[in-house]
Structure 1
C-alpha cells in the first residue's frame, strides 16, 4: 500500500542537506556525538537508578536522508498490522495498486521530509532486536548555531535526553512489547470502510478548524481514543522523564544548561504560521505538551516520594500513568504506591 522507496526518495530531497560544514567539522561533530552518547549512559544510570546493559542498542549519527530511511523502516514495522488489515479488506489490482502505492508513498515522503529538518535525535524502538538511537548531526549543528550556544554543551545536553530513551527501552524489558501491543490494539479496532470514507472532508475540516485537533484525532473512534490516551500517558512519561534527566543532570556537567534550556524553549514557541499549521495537523503540538506534562508529573512524584519509589512506574504496564494522572500525581501515587 506504500511505495517506501519513493517515500525515502521524496523525503530525502525535501529534507535538504542542512548547514554547510567542512569535512573536518563533520567528522568532529560525529565523533563528539558518539562520545557524548557513551558518556551519557553512566550519567543517566546514576541519576535515574535504571541500569541498561551496555551497547544493547546501537548509536547511529546520521544525516537527514539517513534519518528519513531509518524512519521509513520504522514506519513499515509500526504500520504493518494496520496495512495488513486494510489490504485484506480492500486489495487493489494492477495499475490501481501501483498508482495507490505511489500516492501514499509521496504522502509519507512529504511527512518525513518535513520532520527530517527538525528532529535532533530519536530512539527507534522498532529496530530489531532492541532498538537503536539516532542522532541527526546536521540538525544539532543548525540549532546550536541558531541559538548561539556552546556547541560542546548543547551536544551533550541533546545526548542526555536521547540516551535516557535508550535506557528506558533497554532497562525496562517489557516496554517495547507493550508499545507494539498498543499498536496492534489500534489496528484491531480499524474498520477499513469507515477509515477510508470521507478522508478528504476530514482533512479539510482539520485544516479549517484549529479546534478540531490533529489528523490523528480526526480519524479516531472512541475505542481508538481510549487506546491513544494510554499511549499518550506512556509517551508523556518517557518524554518528560528524559527532559527531567537532561535538565537536572545537566548542571553537573554542562555549565550553560540554563541558558540552553531558556533559548531552546523560546525557539519552540517562535515558529511561523505554516509551521504551526503543519505541527498541529501532524500532532506535533501534542508532542510538545507531552514534554511539559510528563516532566511536571515526574518532578511532582519524585519531589514527594523520591526517585526509588518513583521507579515503581517501570515495574509493569499497569503502573504507567494514565493521561488523566499526568495532572493528578497524587492519584497515581495512591493507585500504584498505596
Structure 2
C-alpha cells in the first residue's frame, strides 16, 4: 500500500519516534491545535476560541450561496462543482452517431460473451456518457467509498478534545466539520475532474461505479485513447464494450460482490487511528486563524499532515479488497480474451496496453489510491488472470464461474501466489474440497446453520441458574 486517503501518508512507529525527538516533543506555545488535543504544557484558552469562532462565523456568513450545502462529512456539492470546472465551460453532448456506435458495439460484445461465460447479460441498458454524465452518475458510489474515511478523520477532532475544550467549543465543532467537508470536497472534486476527462467506461477501476444495470462507455475519452494505437477506433470500442459488459455480468449475477468490495473499504475506514503529533509538528508557528481559511486547511490536509497508523484490521481489509479487485479484473481479462478470440486482430495489443496503463498507475488507479487508500499491485492482477486462465483450461468454464457462488470459494491472496493447489482442488486432483463448488457451499451453509442452532439450544433460559 503506497497511498492512503485524501493525501494521507503512512509512517511507521520508528519514524514517528524519530520525528518527535527531532522536534523536541509534540507540544508548543504556537500550536493552534493544542487546545483540541491536550498538548503538553498548554492550557485551554477560551479567548483564543472566541476569536476563532468570530472569524469562522464571518466566513460561513459568506458561504450561503447555491451549491455550498453540506450534509455529511464531505461537501459533495463543492466536489461536483470543482470537478465540472476542471472539464471546462462546455462539454459537448454525445452525438447521435456516437450513441449508435456504442449501442452496436455493446450488442456485438454481448453476443460474443455468451460463449465465454456462464453468466448471462447483466446490463439492462447501454448508455454513452459525457464526462459530466460520469460525474453525476457515479457520485453516489464515490460517496459510499469516501464517507467512511472522512467520518473517521473528522471524528478525530472531537474524540481527542479534553472535556473543557468541548464545553467551550460546541458551536465551533460544527463549523470545523463543515471546514473539513469543504477541504475533503475540494480534493475529491479535483481528483474526479481529472478522472472524468480520461476514464473510458463505468468500471475502469474494477468497481461498479454507475447505477445498477447500466453499461456505460465514454466516446470522447475513447476517441482520445485510440489516438496512436494504430487500430481502428471501432475495434477499440467493441473491445472496451466487451470489458464493460463482462464487468456488468459479474456484478449482476454475483449479488454479494458489490457489498463485499465496498464493505472492505468501510472496514478499512473504521480502523483508522490518527497520530496527532504530525498535526502539532505542522502547526508550529502557524497562525491559529488558518482554521478559518478553507484553502489553508486543504493545504494542511494534502501535505500528509494527518498520519493514520495502519492497524492489523486495516491491513487485513486492504488485502481483502486488493485481492478481490485483482480477481475481478483477472476474470474479466480472461473472459474477454475468450470472447473476442480472433475476431479482433488487435485484441492482444489492446489488452497489453490496458495492462500497462494499470501497471504504471493510470488516472483511474491514482485517483482510487488517493481517495480510498488502495493501490492495486500489478503483480497480483497478472497472477489473478493467470489463475483464471489455467482454471478455464484445466477445469472448464462452468467450474471457473461456479467459484463466484460464494466469497469463501474464491482464491485467497496466497492462492494467487501459488495457484497450483487451488486449481488441483477445483479439478479434484488435490483435496477434492472444490469438486462441486455449489455442493460445497450448501454443505458449508448447512454446517454453519447447525452450529448456530446448537449454540442457541445450549444458551440458558432467562433467569436460569439464578
TMscore range, shorter length? 0.7 to 0.9
Post-superposition offset of 1:318: 0.3
User: What corresponds to 1:222 in structure 2?
Assistant: 312
Give the counterpart of 1:125 among 199, 208, 214: 208
Alignment of 1:98-117 (within 5 A): 98-117=178-197
Question: Using the alignment, how far apart are the partners of 2:389 and 2:100 within structure 1?
Answer: 33
| Contact 1:301 1:329 (C-alpha < 8 Å) held by counterparts | no
User: What corresponds to 1:241 in structure 2?
Assistant: 331
Give the counterpart of 1:337 among 434, 438, 460: 434
Post-superposition offset of 1:64: 1.6
Question: Using the alignment, how far apart are the partners of 2:220 and 2:155 within structure 1?
Answer: 41
Secondary structure of the corresponding residue to residue 67 of structure 1: helix
Give the counterpart of 2:343 among 248, 253, 275: 253
| Contact 2:192 2:367 (C-alpha < 8 Å) held by counterparts | no
Give the counterpart of 1:14 among 76, 79, 86: 86
Q: In the alignment, is residue 328 of structure 1 matched against residue 418 of structure 2?
A: yes
| Contact 2:122 2:248 (C-alpha < 8 Å) held by counterparts | no
Question: Using the alignment, how far apart are the partners of 2:394 and 2:309 within structure 1?
Answer: 39
User: What corresponds to 1:40 in structure 2?
Assistant: 109
Q: Deviations over 1:240-291 (max 9, x none)?
A: 111122223223432332343455556667899xx89957964786264454
Q: In the alignment, is residue 154 of structure 1 matched against residue 236 of structure 2?
A: yes
Secondary structure of the corresponding residue to residue 236 of structure 2: helix
Unaligned runs of 5+ in 1: 209-213
Q: Deviations over 1:220-239 (max 9, x none)?
A: 32211112111222111110
Alignment of 1:161-172 (within 5 A): 161-172=243-254
User: What corresponds to 2:145 in structure 1?
Assistant: 78
Question: Using the alignment, how far apart are the partners of 1:73 and 1:286 within structure 2?
Answer: 23
Q: Using a 3 Å threshold, how does the CA distance of structure 1 residues 54 and 139 change in structure 2: closer, same or farther?
A: closer
Deviates more, 1:43-52 or 1:284-293: 284-293
Q: In the alignment, is residue 63 of structure 1 matched against residue 130 of structure 2?
A: yes
Q: Using a 3 Å threshold, how does the CA distance of structure 1 residues 164 and 218 change in structure 2: closer, same or farther?
A: farther
Question: Using the alignment, how far apart are the partners of 1:97 and 1:33 within structure 2?
Answer: 43
Q: Using a 3 Å threshold, how does the CA distance of structure 1 residues 175 and 153 change in structure 2: closer, same or farther?
A: same
Give the counterpart of 1:301 among 363, 373, 391: 391
Aligned length: 319
Deviates more, 1:166-175 or 1:291-300: 291-300
Alignment of 1:17-32 (within 5 A): 26-32=95-101
Q: Deviations over 1:144-198 (max 9, x none)?
A: 123231111110000111111100011112222323433343343334xx27764
Question: Using the alignment, how far apart are the partners of 2:272 and 2:396 within structure 1?
Answer: 41
Question: Using the alignment, how far apart are the partners of 1:324 and 1:281 within structure 2?
Answer: 23
TM-score by length of 2: 0.58
Higher helix proportion, which one? 1
Question: Using the alignment, how far apart are the partners of 1:116 and 1:238 within structure 2?
Answer: 22
Q: Using a 3 Å threshold, how does the CA distance of structure 1 residues 103 and 43 change in structure 2: closer, same or farther?
A: same
Post-superposition offset of 1:108: 0.7
Q: Using a 3 Å threshold, how does the CA distance of structure 1 residues 41 and 281 change in structure 2: closer, same or farther?
A: closer
Question: Using the alignment, how far apart are the partners of 1:198 and 1:76 within structure 2?
Answer: 27
Unaligned runs of 5+ in 2: 1-72, 159-171, 283-298, 426-430, 436-466
Q: In the alignment, is residue 134 of structure 1 matched against residue 216 of structure 2?
A: yes
User: What corresponds to 2:44 in structure 1?
Assistant: none
Question: Using the alignment, how far apart are the partners of 2:213 and 2:179 within structure 1?
Answer: 33
Q: In the alignment, is residue 186 of structure 1 matched against residue 268 of structure 2?
A: yes
TM-score by length of 1: 0.78
Q: Using a 3 Å threshold, how does the CA distance of structure 1 residues 126 and 14 change in structure 2: closer, same or farther?
A: closer
